Amino acid sequence: NPLQGAQFVLAAHRISQLPADQGAEVAFAGRSNAGKSSALNALTGHRGLARTSKTPGRTQQMVAFSLPPLPPVAGEAPFDARLIDLPGYGYAKVPEDLRAHWKTEIDAYLHQRRSLRGVVLIADIRHPLKEFDRMMLDFCFATALPCHLLLTKADKLSRSQAMQTVAAMRRQFAAEERQATVQGFSSSAPTGVDEARARVLELLRQ
């Protein structure tokens, strides 16, 4: 699992402070409290990599994690790979000016970042596609970036309810012709971790 070698590099308030724009990276986005830090920790196998918090709106920086150079595909040289944890702000208690700042930064990041290969959008399976999530999907759609939707906290629903939600979301994306994939996920069960890891690696390698 190459994601297991993830290491903290830096935390940034602006995209200009991020590591050099080379190699490949995948960004993680989600409303505050969606379960993004827990998902990052589950995917990388580091319990304390991303700071989880019961206080919504605490993560207000972009955090870069480096991965070990990915093994070459079909004769290509290994390349630098990163995961970028975007701040989650779609929560009522986040002040309006901070929300506006991050909306601008995230929009700019998604449009300008050349090494960005795709976005993993994390949403609570019980409340998928709130305004923040729709905005992220629209950003991805506008920039033709692949998006993988992780519907997390699947352990809070029955198996069949979770499967129905995932299927409904797939139908919706198909109807909207969005370049997005969907899966159920749980950091605590855990469920769907291998599938999500495989998708992240696929995004990094494309």
Residues lying near ligand GDP in the complex (CB under 6 A): 30, 32-38, 52-54, 59, 88, 152-153, 155-156, 186-188
Q: Which amino acid is at 72?
A: P
Cα atoms in the Cβ-side hemisphere of radius 13 Å centred on 109: 31
Nearer Cβ to ligand GDP (38/181): 38
Nearer Cβ to ligand GDP (148/153): 153
| Distant-in-sequence, close-in-space partners of 62: CB < 8 Å, separation ≥ 6 | 11, 12, 13, 15, 17, 18, 84, 85, 86, 87, 105, 109
Q: Tell me the closest approach of the beta carbon of residue 156 to ligand GDP, in angstroms.
A: 5
d(CA 13, CA 62): 6
H runs (alpha helix) in 31-158:
36-44, 96-112, 131-143
Nearer Cβ to ligand GDP (139/185): 185
Q: Tell me the closest approach of the beta carbon of residue 162 to ligand GDP, in angstroms.
A: 11
Q: Tell me the closest approach of the beta carbon of residue 6 to ligand GDP, in angstroms.
A: 15
User: Strand locations in the chain, DSSP E?
Assistant: 7-12, 24-30, 62-70, 79-85, 116-124, 147-152, 180-184
Nearer Cβ to ligand GDP (24/147): 147
Q: Tell me the closest approach of the beta carbon of residue 144 to ligand GDP, in angstroms.
A: 26
Q: Tell me the closest approach of the beta carbon of residue 61 to ligand GDP, in angstroms.
A: 12
Nearer Cβ to ligand GDP (57/118): 57
